Amino acid sequence: MNEDVAFIQEQVDRHHVWFSESLPMIASENIISPLAREMLLVDFQDRYAEGLPGERYYQGNEFVDQVEVRVTELAKRLFRCRHADVRPISGTNANLAVLFALAEPSDTITSVALSDGAHISTAKFGAVGVRGLKTITYPFNTRDMNLDVDGTIKLLREVRPKIALFGQSVFLFPTPLKELRDTLQEIGSYVWYDGAHVLGLIAGGQFQDPLREGAEIITGSTHKTLPGPQHGILLAEPRDEKMEKKLLRAVFPGVVSNHHLHAMASLGITLAEHLEFGRAYAEQIMRNAKALGQALHERGLRVLCEHLGFTASHALAVDVTEHGGGAEVALNLERANIITNKNLLPTDTSPVRPSGIRLGSQELTRIGMRESDMQDVADLIARVVTKGEDPKKVARDVAAMRREFRSVHFCFEAGAAAHLRYRMTRPA
């Protein structure tokens, strides 16, 4: 065996063992279903398809086209929209496409501030900066972890942005789109909602329904509360045919060449599964997040927004300043096999010394945990964070807990021969 190959395989094996003994709680991740994972191994991985079904630049796309048409239909059905593009290869890539389609360099975009939980692509050193746009951020109510509606209306009227972007990566509560709708219509901005974190909740009929509340475009990655492959999606209710064409051309030839056909097929399986199981899954994610917030609060942790029930999504934000800050706490939790991330909170000024951690319930829910299990999870977290127990000792109990949660829920059963089927049809 080649030494480098063996090294890489060994690290991946070790990663698998580690994660099978861990509590994965990063709010932007999830695990894919067996049938969706199977699609990542198929021959689509080895092929090119540029453009749209029926209008390709490469031969060999007969079946790829059929899959893409069906995946696009599934996306439209799940999100109840007229336009869906399943070609963006990530959430940031979908965001770039929107910026490319609807703005020109030096235009203004309004968005949530990074320290209030916005995604990096809204920053001047992210996608917005790549497009040469100017970002102005909304006033934010840090107690409620949401936009200050009156201040935002005032700002929108003053700035009249080309694009008004909503949504964030610390996404605890629905955006007050309905309250902003009249103002946004009056000033004519494109209304764009980055729903990456909450796509699965939206599709499951929980959280909010942005396209019915004034948003014209939703972008997202497809591997968070929507538990699919690492990929992107762009959904829209375009104003007219011209806007729809701009969005399509911004994806290809704009920011995507080949769109990772295996991931696109895998996304199709995820969308079909979410049509079947998404509502039950989204409901349980939210019940678990609230239960975890309450349980952590009872164990002395400063979970934000107690007065609002901690969260109305999958995510929780916890201020751990008094326990050493976000960086130290996240590291200690990792040593205990509890995988989270340090996170900026609204009052923070230094991105390298954030005072918070962010927790998500979506993956724990996916492996079958329920509200009562959140008590045990909170106990394990508190032993590390508030009681200062040796993380390695806690890790043993985390691994023991994980033995009860081995399978992926809210998806179709994979046949025993599923993986073999594709291996057999591929040349060795």
Question: Helices (DSSP H) in 305-366: which residue ranges?
Answer: 326-335, 362-366
Determine, following the binding rule CB under 6 A, whether residue 223 of this chain makes contact with ligand DSN: no
Separation CA 157–CA 152 (nearest Å): 9
Determine, following the binding rule CB under 6 A, whether residue 28 of this chain makes contact with ligand DSN: yes
| Residue whose CB is less far from ligand DSN, 27 or 264 | 27
Minimum distance of ligand DSN from residue 91's CB (angstroms): 6
Restricting to residues 86-105, which ones interact with ligand DSN according to CB under 6 A?
91
From 83, 87, 119, 231, residue interacting with ligand DSN (rule: CB under 6 A): 119
Minimum distance of ligand DSN from residue 28's CB (angstroms): 3
| Residue whose CB is less far from ligand DSN, 238 or 354 | 354
Restricting to residues 361-420, which ones interact with ligand DSN according to CB under 6 A?
none
From 22, 152, 169, 361, residue interacting with ligand DSN (rule: CB under 6 A): 169
| Residue whose CB is less far from ligand DSN, 294 or 362 | 362
Minimum distance of ligand DSN from residue 311's CB (angstroms): 15
Size of the site for ligand DSN (CB under 6 A): 6
Determine, following the binding rule CB under 6 A, whether residue 323 of this chain makes contact with ligand DSN: no
| Residue whose CB is less far from ligand DSN, 127 or 286 | 127
Identity of residue 393: K
Angle between helices 149-159 and 177-187 (to 10 degrees): 10
Closest residue to ligand DSN using C-beta atoms: 28
Contact (Cβ atoms closer than 8 angstroms) between residue 136 and residue 155: yes
Residue 338's DSSP bridge partners are 23
Determine, following the binding rule CB under 6 A, whether residue 161 of this chain makes contact with ligand DSN: no
DSSP type of residue 370: -
Determine, following the binding rule CB under 6 A, whether residue 175 of this chain makes contact with ligand DSN: no
**Closest to 162 measured CA to CA, from 145, 187, 129, 140:** 187
CA angle at 349 for the pair 343 and 352, rounded to the nearest 5°: 50
Minimum distance of ligand DSN from residue 95's CB (angstroms): 10
Total Cβ atoms within 10 A of residue 240: 8
Cα dist from 18 to 31, 367, 403, 407, whole Å: 15, 16, 12, 16
Alpha carbon 404 to chain centroid, angstroms: 26
| Residue whose CB is less far from ligand DSN, 221 or 225 | 221
Phi, psi for residue 85 in degrees, rounded to 5: -125, 115
Determine, following the binding rule CB under 6 A, whether residue 311 of this chain makes contact with ligand DSN: no
Cα dist from 181 to 63, 68, 123, 211, 212, whole Å: 42, 33, 24, 11, 10
Determine, following the binding rule CB under 6 A, whether residue 204 of this chain makes contact with ligand DSN: no
Residue 166's DSSP bridge partners are 193
Residue 206, Ramachandran bin (φ over 0: left; ψ between -120 and 50: alpha; else beta):
beta
**Closest to 211 measured CA to CA, from 183, 241, 239, 171:** 239
Minimum distance of ligand DSN from residue 213's CB (angstroms): 22
Minimum distance of ligand DSN from residue 228's CB (angstroms): 14
| Residue whose CB is less far from ligand DSN, 135 or 169 | 169
Contact (Cβ atoms closer than 8 angstroms) between residue 23 and residue 364: yes
Minimum distance of ligand DSN from residue 52's CB (angstroms): 26
Phi, psi for residue 110 in degrees, rounded to 5: -105, 145
Minimum distance of ligand DSN from residue 46's CB (angstroms): 27
Minimum distance of ligand DSN from residue 119's CB (angstroms): 6
Determine, following the binding rule CB under 6 A, whether residue 313 of this chain makes contact with ligand DSN: no
| Residue whose CB is less far from ligand DSN, 153 or 285 | 285
Footprint of ligand DSN (CB under 6 A)? 28, 91, 119, 169, 196, 221
